[in-house]
Amino acid sequence: MKTANGNTSVMDMFEKGKVLKICAPMVRYSKLAFRSLVRKYNCDICFTPMIVAADFLRSIKARDSEFTTNERDRPLIVQFAAHDAQSLADAACAVAPFSDGVDLNCGCPQRWAMSAGYGACLINKPELVKDMVRHVRNQVDNPNYTASIKIRIHKDLKQTVDLCQKAESAGVSWITVHGRTTEERHQPVHYDAIKTIKDSVSVPVIANGDIKYLRDVESTHELTGVDGVMAARGLLANPAMFAGYEDTPLQCIWDWVDIAVEQGTPFTCFHHHLIYMLERVSSQPERKVFNSLSSTSAVIDYLQNTYGSVHDLRT
């Protein structure tokens, strides 16, 4: 699918009966190398990590470190934290030639984000969110470029429905709903709330929260009727999850090594991803040894000695 060229849109991917599989925006983790990996394993759309729009606009250094992509990194949604409409629109215009849409973070519950006016505090400012969506819509010179929002729910769901309907009236492309309130962390996802929101708007709705296996994609769809699901921790633990693997397959681990080496991924990031991927398939003593490794070559040697090389898969 060719996007970001003015001819086609991410919105063409939303087909009746199809559930899109989406990689969530994850601080430090959903960068280009990891997006390249999950795209090999049936991930339909990827998000960048959250980028603070004001910093992005202010500094070339921030732009270079926060946003990297290539022509195969599609469809790509850039997620921004912003608290005023013009900053969001300016940031969207800056990345529009290299991406397929922007997403406004209205769900981050971290204290620093909320105290700065970013993230989940925006769910209590529906008029501002409406204005921000409208600004992006009006100022990005590409009718196929998407403007979406990612939210958490209120205790009083009427407030969430009102927020979503206001965003819809401003031209929001779709809405991702993390099915927990700002205060909730690991409590069960409120699937009934996601269904209520889905039934209250005509734009596509994406469900987020507790997607750990491919079967969770289908069960969430059945419970809520959503148009797609977004996974975060589940994909970190198993980047091949959307392709139906229960645990990270060896091929995927070696794919990660190849991609990370090719793209020059910093060692800490390279290592952390492997720690997540191996967590369910390695013993505690193995994890202790692996976690203490301190160079790419040591990691590759360990993987070959412990699990075998990718060539062993083909013989």
Annotated binding site for FMN: 25-27, 79, 178, 232-233
Give catalytic status of residue 108 as yes or no.
yes
Distance CA 39, CA 25 (A): 14
Provide the annotated binding site: 25-27, 79, 178, 232-233
The SS3 assignment for 205 reads: strand
| Cα(221)–Cα(213) distance, integer angstroms | 13
Residue of 108, 121, 164, 252 marked catalytic: 108
Strand pairing report for 205-208 and 76-81: unpaired
Number of helices (H), then strands (E), belonging to the chain: the values are: 15, 9
Beta bridge partners of 231: 23
The SS3 call for residue 140 is: coil
Burial code (b: 16+ CB inside 10 Å, e: under 16) for 137-157 equals beebebebbbbbbbbbbbeee
In whole angstroms, give the CA distance from residue 97 to residue 76.
11
Helical ranges in 116-249 per DSSP H: 126-139, 157-169, 191-200, 214-224, 233-237
C-alpha closest to that of 163 among 207, 131, 209? 131
CB 25 within 8 A of CB 50: yes
- Residues with catalytic roles: 108
